[in-house]
Amino acid sequence: MSVNLEPILSPSPNSFGMEETKIDPYAKLFIAMRYWLLGKGLYRALNALEYASKLHTGVRKDGVTREYSHQLSIGHYIRSISTSLTNPEECLATVFLHDVCEDCGIAVEEIEAQFGSTVSEAVWLLTKKYRAEKKPLDRYYGNISQNPIASIVKGADRIHNVQSMLGVFDLSKQQQYIQETQEYILPALKEARRKFPQQEPAYENIKHMLQSQIELLSAVHKALDSDRISLPPS
């Protein structure tokens, strides 16, 4: 049940001319998460970490970053707010598995068989498109807002998507993400916060993260537009 990390462990000389092993950022994320889960005894989440890592083996849209670094980055964020969650282990398992139905074609029944109905329900709610069938956005986000795990994971997922889209998506795609966040995700988080008040600190954290990102990106977009307007015609 282990992931082969040899390709990403490479010897290189340090400042003293001595050879030392350097671990790339993906390996650091994976190893840190694996041993944190082991130390906490969160074996269901650990199994989900390993299971999903064998499915997400490509690269992200930038053509460089390993695909599974997305799930790992979200997982580390969830670690930081885990004391505010009512189901931290199921939430982490859902983070690792949230794209396996949509991106890998895994049946939700398999997720339920391996990880239980609480995790499989959240994973299915987070699956926007499955085998050519796409859920309408209002129903998709409405259902997510009624689940304590899916609502947290969706918010954390969007934080990482917004954080990593600059320089990867064109301006139009970035603005589309911002609009969807404002029209659907923030209201869904607000509804979930009312329904699951025990998780209020987590929802508040996610909301402020997203709002800060949107403000920063909007300022970047405004500056880019200003530069384009002020440039003389070539």
Tokens of 33: 């998460």
Neighbours of 201 (CB within 10 A): 13
Confidence (pLDDT) at 6: 44
Residue 15: Cβ-neighbour burial (10 angstroms; 0-12, 13-18, 19+): exposed
First to last CA, the chain: 58
211 pLDDT above the threshold of 50:
yes
155 pLDDT above the threshold of 70:
yes
User: Coil, helix or strand for 164?
Assistant: helix
Question: What predicted TM-score, i.e. pTM, was given to this entire model?
Answer: 0.87
Domain positions in the chain are: 23-221
pLDDT tens digits for range 121-143: 999 999 999 988 899 999 999 99
| CATH number 1.10.3210.10 given to 23-221 | yes
pLDDT tens digits for range 169-200: 888 889 999 999 999 999 999 999 999 999 99
Q: Residue 2: pLDDT band by 50, 70, 90 thresholds?
A: very low
Tell me what the mean pLDDT of segment 214-230 comes to: 79
Neighbours of 75 (CB within 10 A): 25
Q: Report the distance separating Cα 224 and Cα 234, nearest Å.
A: 17
